[in-house]
């Protein structure tokens, strides 16, 4: 009985010490926990990174892709999306629990929209999944406002000089979703096929949707 009590107390003390050593910042705490678990052989960092990448670029943005595809094939839904993004996205049960208001902004041949969060990394998680690392970086957050055309060029997107670039600054209350242009040559595609073309980057505004 005494031995059991001693072991229990020791485990509690050890558990407390681990948490006491963790930094207060949530991101740093996650890193610290990942390091501890890696040292104990309980997790594989490469597997974690691979899972995050899949969720960031493939699984996470699928909700947003479905919203975009529906807007492309359903003019009435597109109008509702541009008028009240949160309500229209809520129709598809993709709004999530963050409580933020989502505004959809449409790309056209004359206007290209780019989303950034200059103060932190506010992001419509319910439709785009996890934000990519570059979206949270200081260089992107500053240069997207100062030199958006140069930033887009670095992403491989060169826009004609006549195309106006609008930069939208997300906040905790209002977050933005870019409705990209529907690519030519997709007239015979159905909604599911169109959704498969839509990328996370196109819904942030650093890329365009390709028919291939």
Q: CA-to-CA distance for 210 and 153, rounded, in angstroms?
A: 17
117 is catalytic: yes
Annotated active-site residue in 117, 126, 170, 202: 117
Residues 14-41 have pLDDT tens digits of: 333 434 444 445 555 556 665 666 676 7
pLDDT value at residue 181: 98
Q: Give the CATH superfamily of 61-204.
A: Nitrile hydratase alpha /Thiocyanate hydrolase gamma (3.90.330.10)
Which H, E and C letters describe the chain, residue by residue?
CHHHHHHHHHHHHHHHHHHHHCCCCHHHHHHHHHHHHHHCCCCCHHHHHHHHHHHHHHHCCHHHHHHHHHHHHCHHHHHHHHHCHHHHHHHCCCCCCCCCEEEEEECCCCEEEEEECCCCCCCCHHHHCCCCHHHHCHHHHHHHHHCHHHHHHHCCCCCCCCCEEEEEECCCCEEEEEECCCCCCCCCCCHHHHHHHCCHHHHHCCCCCCCC
Annotated active-site residue in 120, 137, 142, 210: 120
Annotated active-site residue in 35, 83, 86, 121: 121
121 is catalytic: yes
Annotated active-site residue in 86, 122, 126, 202: 122
Residues 80-123 have pLDDT tens digits of: 999 999 999 999 987 665 556 999 999 999 999 999 999 988 88
Question: What is the pTM assigned to this prediction?
Answer: 0.74
């Amino acid at each position: 009985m005494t031995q059991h009590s001693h072991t229990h107390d020791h485990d509690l003390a050890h558990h407390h010490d681990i948490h006491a050593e963790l930094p207060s910042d949530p991101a740093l705490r996650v890193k610290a926990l990942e390091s501890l678990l890696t040292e104990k052989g309980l997790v594989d960092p490469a597997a974690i990174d691979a899972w995050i990448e899949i969720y960031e670029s493939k699984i996470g943005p699928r909700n947003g892709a479905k919203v975009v595809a529906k807007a492309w094939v359903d003019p009435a839904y597109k109008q509702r999306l541009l008028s009240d993004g949160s309500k229209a996205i809520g129709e598809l049960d993709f709004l999530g629990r963050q409580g933020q208001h989502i505004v959809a902004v449409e790309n056209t041949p004359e206007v290209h929209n780019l989303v950034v969060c200059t103060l932190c990394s506010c992001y419509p998680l319910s439709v785009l999944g996890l934000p990519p690392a570059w979206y949270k970086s200081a260089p992107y957050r500053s240069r997207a406002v100062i030199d958006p055309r140069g930033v887009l060029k670095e992403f491989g997107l060169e826009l004609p000089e006549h195309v106006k670039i609008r930069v939208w600054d997300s906040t905790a209350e209002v977050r933005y979703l870019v409705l990209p242009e529907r690519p030519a040559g997709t007239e015979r595609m159905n909604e599911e096929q169109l959704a498969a073309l839509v990328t996370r980057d196109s819904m942030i505004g650093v890329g365009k949707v390709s028919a291939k």
